[in-house]
Structure 1
Amino acid sequence: MYWASLLTASLASTAHAAATLRFSCAQLVVDRLDPLVQPGIAPSSHLHQVVGGNAFNVTMDPDQHDMASTATCTSCVPTEDFSNYWTAVLFFRAKNGTYKRVNTMGNGLGYSNSNGGQTVYYLSSGKVTAFKPGFRMTVGNPQYRTQAEARKNPSLQFTCLASSMTRTGYRYDFPTDTCAAGIMVTVRFPTCWDGKNLDSPDHQSHIAYPTGSKCPATHPVNIPQVFYETYWDTRPFNNKKDWPTDVQQPFVWSFGDKTGYGNHGDYMFGWKGDALQRAMDANCNSDLLSDKVNCPTLKQQTIAETNKCTVKRRVKEDIDGWLTELPGVSGMSMGKKV
């Protein structure tokens, strides 16, 4: 499986000039904002969980908003990484129809002390060009509801964790049984860029997956693969007596998807200066079973320090109690441009 290939790449990094930069990013905020897909809208259509630099805001116009110089802290271990990484939020739907937000938790393979958030990877199998200031992208589609649609993005998957070590049994939809150690959601972005556009109207057309081992002629520039692993703490909801009887599983994404096929992720580049390029050129390879980031060229902070970097929620609404509807989705309460 892919975990095994990561280990192989790490061990063979010197020979193949591969990089496996892996680090923890604690939770920055859970809020109903989306400055990439719905810039300036508060509240946005659904809830997101966000990590990275504290410059995250309602509007992040790349021409007016320099994340690396605006942010004063980051919830990620590399202190020069002020990027923002976010996904939708997972909810549990109880038998009586009410919803409870599922918390994220630190990756059990080295990052248990992290205040939620997610593990971030930057992967390469050779020479890559780091992202430029203003670069942004999404992967996946929140409108997808079938496996055929989900397979268009084969690297967006779920793993039912029997333990923190589980790296088998990948699937495109929500697990249908209890997961002893939670549910891991993986989001991997394409690795080819058109070399011109920092964004595109759909936030995806300027990037592409390779064909075989090569980038297509339309997207000839090799870029690092951004890869998220998010651990969702579904353990408090493992009593099937509390599950609804009309579905095979009780979880739903914050945008109303009960299948899981709408899994997606958002990325805004915000590394300071040439820090990411230096790390990729140095073939940095982090320990896969500890919190050690083997990358001397990068300035780093401890996980305890990443936990201190947070921002206040902009949208004032209840997201912690038992809810009768999903924030923004069931009631269609999307805000206006600010």
Structure 2
Amino acid sequence: MLWRSFPLAAAIASSVNAATLRFSCSQLIVERLDPLVNPGMNPSPHLHQVVGGNAFNATMDPSIHDLPTTATCTSCTPTEDFSNYWTAVLFFRARNGTLHRVNTFGNELGYTGANGGQTVYYLSSGKVTAFKPGFRMTVGDPNFRTAQELNAKYKYMDYTCLQTSMTRGGQTLNFPTGPCPAGIMVSIRFPTCWDGTNVDTPDHQSHVAYPVGNACPASHPVTVPQVFYETYWDTRPFNDRSQWPADGSQPFVWSFGDKTGYGLHGDYVFGWKGDALQRAMDTNCNSDLFANRINCNTLQTQSLDQANKCVAQDAVKENLDGWLTELPGGMPIA
């Protein structure tokens, strides 16, 4: 089953045997590395914002790097989660063509103390099998530029123009076309069906699939937790329409050059310690909506202040601050 928003997931969790594990992951690093799509390349073509364990690096070969043993801290509040979660980075393009990086900020529903990053969910509506060591996947396609392309393959990624921190509803598949008073929330949901054999595939997607109706297809018979990201982008400093493009079009662009929003995508590398995630799913762990509190006796947690202290060393070292004349890496905007 796939949920569109946390309040709906919470309602389901209260009525059936389900896990709704929700927690904050503070910003670990913003840099041009992509160990899934561009392993070993330093720098990678476009910029990412990354959260999770500080073992994140350019290669992350699962035969060499076991995240729970190589990481020394995690920016997520469950201390046994050394996974890495990342997305592209949002930029504002001003009327004069210059670009400014947009920061993330802590989810105002419970995580205002977080140093940016994103909210991560693991959801289930019954018995699920936790991911295996070395598991990784991506969702979305950075080359997509139309709603038709996105709808044909990925149906569970969207944007919410936040009128207030409580706004839920009115999601769009493309960038919001007007100023958003409380920022833009971007939601990315991964497939929940696994082929039961491969922890990865060359395209990082073929080993997983979305359900057909409420059941996993025969080709991907194993139900896994739904991994779901919410990222709050602080577009509030850029709401002055006199700085937007003269033709009135929306001014935001992803770090890979997409100004439509349809190329939205996310990356995931599993790194929970031992059987911690399976225990959490088996005991139907859940989280309070308005507080940094996980109701789960089987998991160890840390405060937001502690999570904020976990950062990774910048391996690329390029200027990402202030007004830029081009996207990092010179990515063309299209």
Contact 1:254 1:329 in 2 (8 A): no
Which moves more between the two structures, 193-202 or 283-292?
Answer: 283-292
The equivalent of 1:335 in structure 2 is none
Contact 1:24 1:114 in 2 (8 A): yes
Alpha-carbon distance in structure 1 between the residues aligned to 2:85 and 2:124: 19
Matched to 2:144, the amino acid is: Y
The equivalent of 2:188 in structure 1 is 187
Alpha-carbon distance in structure 2 between the residues aligned to 1:194 and 1:60: 23
Provide TM-score, normalisation by structure 2. 0.97
The equivalent of 1:308 in structure 2 is 309
Which moves more between the two structures, 285-294 or 77-86?
Answer: 285-294
Alpha-carbon distance in structure 2 between the residues aligned to 1:278 and 1:178: 43
Contact 2:135 2:269 in 1 (8 A): yes
Alpha-carbon distance in structure 2 between the residues aligned to 1:321 and 1:83: 30
Question: Where do residues 73-222 of structure 1 align in structure 2 (5 Å cutoff)?
Answer: 73-151=73-151, 152-222=153-223
Measured against aligned partners, the alpha-carbon deviations of 1:143-200 in whole angstroms (never above 9, x if no partner) come to: 0000011212111100000011101110000000110000000000000000000000
CA apart distance, 1:316: 1.7
Which secondary structure does the structure 2 equivalent of 1:280 belong to?
helix
Contact 2:85 2:267 in 1 (8 A): yes
CA apart distance, 1:331: 7.2
The equivalent of 1:6 in structure 2 is 9
Alpha-carbon distance in structure 2 between the residues aligned to 1:327 and 1:222: 38
Contact 1:92 1:102 in 2 (8 A): yes
Alpha-carbon distance in structure 2 between the residues aligned to 1:76 and 1:305: 9
CA apart distance, 1:288: 1.8
CA apart distance, 1:313: 1.3
Contact 1:157 1:185 in 2 (8 A): yes
The equivalent of 2:42 in structure 1 is 42
Matched to 1:193, the amino acid is: W
CA RMSD of aligned residues (A): 1.2
Aligned length: 329
| Aligned residues with identical type, % of pairs | 68
Provide TM-score, normalisation by structure 1. 0.96
The equivalent of 1:237 in structure 2 is 238
Matched to 1:21, the amino acid is: L
Measured against aligned partners, the alpha-carbon deviations of 1:99-144 in whole angstroms (never above 9, x if no partner) come to: 0000000000000000000000000000000000000000000000
Which secondary structure does the structure 1 equivalent of 2:330 belong to?
coil
CA apart distance, 1:247: 5.4
**Cα gap change, 1:247 to 1:207, in 2 (>3 Å):** farther
Contact 2:257 2:332 in 1 (8 A): no
Gaps of 5+ in 2: none
Contact 1:52 1:82 in 2 (8 A): yes
CA apart distance, 1:41: 0.1
Alpha-carbon distance in structure 2 between the residues aligned to 1:56 and 1:4: 32
Matched, 1:66 2:74: no
Alpha-carbon distance in structure 2 between the residues aligned to 1:183 and 1:330: 23
CA apart distance, 1:10: 2.8
